[in-house]
């Protein structure tokens, strides 16, 4: 029995994948709570998809993905901000147009003949391909993100609770928005390595959405979200090892399954009450 | 803060906490409220009257430094604390009454420090003053409308705000809650705070020290007994005002907003 649990992690590949899951879980769970509470899920998805050309260009040029992703996110964020100002078509629509365009551009580049193999890793992630360098960079970014969340906690709380009166208690909504969006960009950058462009939103939204159904205060919610993300992530690694299915997809799928389970639990609990 | 705070300043004495001189405010170049001139002194309660869209909320946004004056002058001696309408805050937000009171400590501590023992004690003391310390751990959204208003008053107390703005705090409150809140406002003023209350209830405002009547411009400002004349009320509320015959005279009634004929 014990062998069944330990065997997958005897190889270095899986050990690094496990550490990557811990990093992803901490970042996704903690920041995810703010994303869910601030209704930024659509923004998270937009940034993740809009950065695709940056990743593809980095892969083509052989520069680190982290760098390409960072530039891609900056370009996507700028384009989204500018598109939001286009009058007459509505903010969500203009964002959708920009993001689809950027994603299409990335796909166009990705389908060119001289693309190196492994481009699909950009779309679906390559959690088993995590290198030591990825882990160090990811851990550093994750640590910075968690420190920033802790420092900004009360200001984010005051703004999220009531924007209109936040300034009166000394918390600027503008600063809070800027911090959340910056951290969102950092989180997407960290998570895109493991889960890829299309699945990254799962870790940023699903565990926190599940935790929200189970907790009534923010700190327990964050702890629960991190625990759910890590548990689903590890379960995903087992699933991928024994069922021989893609690791990123298993992890993302189980995170969404955790949300559905929490939803079901909340329904049952409210039916009993 | 102790349960019996000493007066900050004797009522009506000293420099004004708020002075507005021919103030115009608005969201673009075109002002939605003009000609506002009034002063709020320590220990005063000013009732801000006017129809919906008359400029009450706009004035409050200017007082909270969210809108810059387009013309004239607006001076505040200290930053104002505010008790917003709780319908606008997120009732599903995962915070307790104590968390909300603790938000009042944000401005008073360095940004890297979390609220410590002193801050928690101040938050509990403020909740005790508004009669809600027993519900400190209750979720904000689960409290009644009156209790939520009082938690927000507690937040302003934790801030030690010397200017307190209340935006339609009595809307939707039952009689007991309204009386309790009214008494709390009297206490805040008695401590030497300046209190501005936006309200629809003209009769209620008669008990306060001053009234400020707004209808896209300042119609009148002064003590209620002299200020709330039929002419002033008619100019403030326009066509939504009617007079009702009553024993020994006439009584004014203001129709609720959905009763008027809309001519726009």
Q: Is the pLDDT of residue B4 over 80?
A: no
- For chain B, what is the mean pLDDT? 86
Q: Is the pLDDT of residue B10 over 60?
A: no
Q: Is the pLDDT of residue B264 over 60?
A: no
Give me the percent of chain A exceeding a pLDDT of 90.
49
Pure H helices in A12-90:
12-37, 41-50, 52-61, 65-83
Note the pLDDT tens digit of each residue in B218-245: 999 999 999 998 888 888 987 666 666 6
What is the average per-residue pLDDT within A226-252? Answer: 94
Q: Is the pLDDT of residue B193 over 90?
A: yes
Note the pLDDT tens digit of each residue in A76-110: 888 877 877 777 777 788 888 888 999 999 988 88
Measured CA distances, B244 to A105, B250, B251, B252, B254 (Å): 71, 6, 5, 6, 10
CA distance B108 to B106: 6
- For chain A, what is the mean pLDDT? 89
Query: Do A162 and B65 count as a contact with CB atoms less than 8 A apart?
Result: no
Q: Is the pLDDT of residue B168 over 50?
A: yes
Contact residues on chain A for B106, CB-CB shorter than 8 A: 154-155, 158, 169-171
Note the pLDDT tens digit of each residue in B62-81: 999 889 999 999 999 988 99
Contact residues on chain A for B105, CB-CB shorter than 8 A: 154
Q: Taking a C-beta distance cutoff of 8 angstroms, is the pair A251, A195 a contact?
A: yes
Lowest mean pLDDT among A81-85, A100-104, B111-115, B123-127: A81-85
Q: Taking a C-beta distance cutoff of 8 angstroms, is the pair B125, B2 a contact?
A: yes
Lowest mean pLDDT among A44-53, A140-149, A247-256, B2-11: B2-11
CA distance A260 to B193: 51
Q: What is the pLDDT of residue B256?
A: 58
Query: Do B104 and A153 count as a contact with CB atoms less than 8 A apart?
Result: no
The residue among B14 and B93 whose pLDDT is bigger is B93
Please, which pLDDT band fits residue B255 given cuts at 50, 70 and 90?
low
Query: Do A169 and B104 count as a contact with CB atoms less than 8 A apart?
Result: yes
Query: Do A155 and B106 count as a contact with CB atoms less than 8 A apart?
Result: yes
Query: Do B159 and A169 count as a contact with CB atoms less than 8 A apart?
Result: yes
Query: Do B107 and A215 count as a contact with CB atoms less than 8 A apart?
Result: no
Closest residue to B95, CB basis, from A151, A157, A164: A157
Closest residue to B90, CB basis, from A155, A160, A215: A160
Q: What is the pLDDT of residue A231?
A: 97
Closest residue to B103, CB basis, from A151, A169, A221: A169
Q: What is the pLDDT of residue B72?
A: 94
CA distance B67 to B10: 31
What is the average per-residue pLDDT within A59-65? Answer: 85
Contact residues on chain A for B112, CB-CB shorter than 8 A: 151
CA distance A170 to B108: 8
Query: Do B90 and A161 count as a contact with CB atoms less than 8 A apart?
Result: yes
Closest residue to A165, CB basis, from B84, B94, B112: B84
A75 to chain B, closest Cα gap in Å: 31
Query: Do B159 and A215 count as a contact with CB atoms less than 8 A apart?
Result: no
What is the average per-residue pLDDT within B81-95? Answer: 85
């Amino acid at each position: 029995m014990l062998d069944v649990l330990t065997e997958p992690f005897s190889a270095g590949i899986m050990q690094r994948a496990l550490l990557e899951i811990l990093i992803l879980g901490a970042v996704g769970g903690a920041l995810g709570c703010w994303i869910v509470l601030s209704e930024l899920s659509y923004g998270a998805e937009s940034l993740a998809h809009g950065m695709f050309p940056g990743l593809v260009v980095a892969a083509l040029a052989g520069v680190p993905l982290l760098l390409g992703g960072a530039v891609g996110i900056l370009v996507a964020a700028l384009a989204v901000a500018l598109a939001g100002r286009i009058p007459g078509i509505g903010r969500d629509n203009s964002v959708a147009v920009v993001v689809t365009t950027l994603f299409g551009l990335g796909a166009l580049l990705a389908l060119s003949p001289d693309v190196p193999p492994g481009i699909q890793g950009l779309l679906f992630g390559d959690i088993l391909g995590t290198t030591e360098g990825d882990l160090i960079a990811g851990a550093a970014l994750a640590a910075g993100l968690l420190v920033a969340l802790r420092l900004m906690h009360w200001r984010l709380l005051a703004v999220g609770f009531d924007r209109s009166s936040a300034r009166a208690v000394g918390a600027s909504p503008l600063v809070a928005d800027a911090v959340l969006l910056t951290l969102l960009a950092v989180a997407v950058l960290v998570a895109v390595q493991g889960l890829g462009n299309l699945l990254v939103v799962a870790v940023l939204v699903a565990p926190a959405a599940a935790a929200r159904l189970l907790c009534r205060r923010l700190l327990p919610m964050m702890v629960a979200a991190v625990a759910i993300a890590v548990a689903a992530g590890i379960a995903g690694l087992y699933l991928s090892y024994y069922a021989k299915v893609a690791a990123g997809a298993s992890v993302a799928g189980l995170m969404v399954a955790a949300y559905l389970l929490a939803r079901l639990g909340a329904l049952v609990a409210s039916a009993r009450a | 803060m102790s349960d019996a705070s000493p007066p900050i300043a004797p009522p009506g004495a000293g420099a004004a906490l708020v002075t507005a001189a021919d103030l115009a405010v608005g969201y673009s170049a075109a002002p939605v409220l003009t000609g506002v001139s009034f002063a709020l002194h320590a220990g005063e309660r000013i009732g801000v009257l006017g129809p919906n869209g008359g400029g009450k909320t706009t004035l409050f946004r200017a007082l909270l430094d969210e809108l810059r004056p387009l013309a004239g002058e607006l001076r505040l001696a200290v930053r104002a604390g505010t008790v917003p309408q709780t319908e606008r805050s997120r009732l599903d937000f995962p915070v307790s009454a104590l968390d909300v009171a603790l938000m009042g400590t944000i401005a008073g501590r360095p940004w890297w420090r979390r609220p410590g023992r002193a801050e928690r004690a101040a938050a509990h003391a403020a909740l005790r003053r508004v009669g809600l310390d027993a519900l400190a751990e209750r979720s904000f959204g689960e409290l009644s409308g009156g209790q939520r208003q009082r938690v927000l008053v507690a937040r302003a107390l934790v801030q030690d705000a010397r200017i307190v703005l209340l935006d339609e705090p009595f809307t939707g409150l039952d009689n007991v809650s309204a009386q309790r809140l009214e008494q709390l406002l009297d206490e805040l003023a008695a401590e030497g705070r300046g209190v501005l209350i936006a309200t629809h209830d003209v009769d209620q405002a008669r008990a306060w020290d001053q009234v400020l009547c707004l209808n896209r411009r300042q119609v009148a400002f002064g003590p209620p007994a002299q200020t709330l004349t039929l002419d002033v009320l008619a100019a403030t509320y326009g066509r939504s005002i009617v007079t009702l015959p009553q024993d020994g005279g006439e009584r004014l009634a203001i129709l609720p907003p959905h009763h008027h004929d809309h001519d726009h």
